[in-house]
Amino acid sequence: MILGVAGLVPSQQVSQKGSPTDADGGDWEDINENVVKSVINHGFKTVQVRVTDTKKNRKQNIERIRFLFSNYDMPMSQTVGNYGGGLISENPVIRNEAINFMKEMIIISSELGSPNTYLRPGSINKNGPWFPHKENNSKIVWDRLVNSTREICDFAEIEGIKIALEGGVSCPISSPIKVKSFFDDVNSSMLGLNMDPVNFISSLDVGYNSTKLINDFFSLVPNKIWGAHAKDFKIIDSLIPHFEESIIGDKESLLDNVALLKGMEKFCPNGHVLVEHLPDELIPFAKKGIDKIAKENNITWE
C-alpha cells in the first residue's frame, strides 16, 4: 500500500464550500517543488491532487505535476474535484454542470496517470455537500445519483479511469449496505469505494464497535475498494451523541485502524491510504500514529 497525504499544499484557492474541514486546502496550481519536498520529508510517498478549476492553466498544471512526481519518484495519487454536491440537485442545469466537471476530472486523471478520481455524492442541503438533509435518503435523490453516476462511469470506461465513491451518514450513501446497493444499481466495473469509515459513524453503538462497520465494507464489497482516507474520531461527552474527528493514535481515538489496514492490505494491497483533514502542524502526529499501527501488525508501506 502507498501511504500519502491529502494536505501539505498551501491553500491559495477558495475552499470547497461545505467541506468537513478546510485543513486539506490547496489546489493543483499550488503543488510545486517545495510541496513535493515537504511531502517526502514528512515521510509520505504521494500527495492528493485537488482541482478547483479544470480549465485554468490545465496543460501547464498537468505537465508540471507529472514532471515533479516523476522527478521525485512519487506515484501519481488520487485526484479530487471541487465540484460541490450538484450530482443530486433537483436543478438539471446544476446536475449537468457537476457531471461535466466529473468528466473533466476523468480526462485530467487520465492525462496525469492517476489511478482514480474521487466521487462526492452531494447533499440537498444548500450549505454544503456533506451536510445532512431529510431528502438525502429519498428515492428520488437516490435515483438522481444513480443516473448521474452511470453517465460518469460510462465516460470513465472510455478513458479507463476508476471512480472512487466516498459516502457518509449525512449523504445518500450512508451505510455499508447502501454502498453495495449503489454499486449494484450503477453496475459499472469502474466504480469502487474510497474507504473512509469515520464518515459512517452513525451512533454510539457503531462508534464503540467500529470493527464491525469496517468489516462490513470488506465483506460486502471486497473487490470494489480502490483506496482509503485515514483519519480517526472520538466521542464527545454530551447528552446528545456527538462525534469529532481526531488524530490517529491519540488515546481518545476509537477507530479500529488495525482492522482497516489489515483489510486494505488483503483487498487493496496496491491502493493509496491518504492521511487527511488535519492542519499541517498535526499531520506528523497522525503519520506517527498510523506508522505505529502498521509496524505492530507487520504492515509495510511501498
Q: For the segment 269-284, what is each residue's pLDDT rounded down to a tens digit?
A: 999 999 999 999 999 9
pLDDT of res. 297: 98
Q: What phi and psi, each to the nearest 5 degrees, are found at residue 23? A: -65, -35
pLDDT higher than threshold 80 for residue 19: no
Which residue is associated with the grid cell 431529510? 134
Provide the mean pLDDT of the chain: 95
* % of the chain at pLDDT higher than 70: 95
Interval 224-250: pLDDT, tens = 999 999 999 999 999 999 999 999 999
Alpha-carbon distance values, 131 to 19, 71, 85, 118, 167 (Å): 9, 40, 10, 18, 12
DSSP state letter for 169: T
Which residue is associated with the grid cell 474527528? 245
| pLDDT band, very low/low/confident/very high, at 254 (cuts 50, 70, 90) | very high
Instruction: Please tell me the least confidently modeled range out of 11-25, 27-41, 243-257.
Output: 11-25
pLDDT of res. 180: 99
Interval 49-96: pLDDT, tens = 999 999 999 999 999 999 999 999 999 999 999 999 999 999 999 999
- Residue 159's H or E segment, with its range, is helix 139-159
pLDDT of res. 14: 40
Sequence letter at residue 186: V
Query: Distance (Å, rounded) from C-alpha 16 to C-alpha 19?
Result: 6
DSSP line for 189-228: TTEEEEE-GGGG--SHHHHHTHHHHHHHHHHHSTT-EEEE
Interval 161-185: pLDDT, tens = 999 999 999 999 999 999 999 999 9
* Beta-carbon count within 10 A of 295 CB: 10
| pLDDT band, very low/low/confident/very high, at 139 (cuts 50, 70, 90) | very high
Summarize the confidence of residues 203-213 as an average pLDDT.
98
Task: Tell me if residue 110 falls in helix, strand or coil.
Answer: helix
| pLDDT band, very low/low/confident/very high, at 146 (cuts 50, 70, 90) | very high
| pLDDT band, very low/low/confident/very high, at 219 (cuts 50, 70, 90) | very high
Which burial class, exposed, middle or buried, applies to 237 when counting CB atoms under 10 A from its CB (0-12, 13-18, 19+)?
exposed
pLDDT of res. 24: 56
pLDDT higher than threshold 80 for residue 20: no
pLDDT of res. 26: 82
Interval 112-136: pLDDT, tens = 999 999 999 999 999 999 999 999 9
pLDDT higher than threshold 90 for residue 216: yes
pLDDT higher than threshold 60 for residue 23: no
CATH 3.20.20.150 fits 2-296, yes or no: yes
Asked whether the beta carbons of 120 and 87 are under 8 A apart, the reply is: yes
Q: Which three cell numbers stand for residue 231?
A: 483519519
What 153-157 contacts at long range (C-beta under 8 Å, 24+ apart), as own/partner pairs, is: 153/186, 153/188, 153/190, 153/191, 154/188, 155/102, 155/103, 155/106, 156/106, 156/188, 156/190, 156/191, 157/188, 157/189, 157/190
Domain boundaries, the chain: 2-296
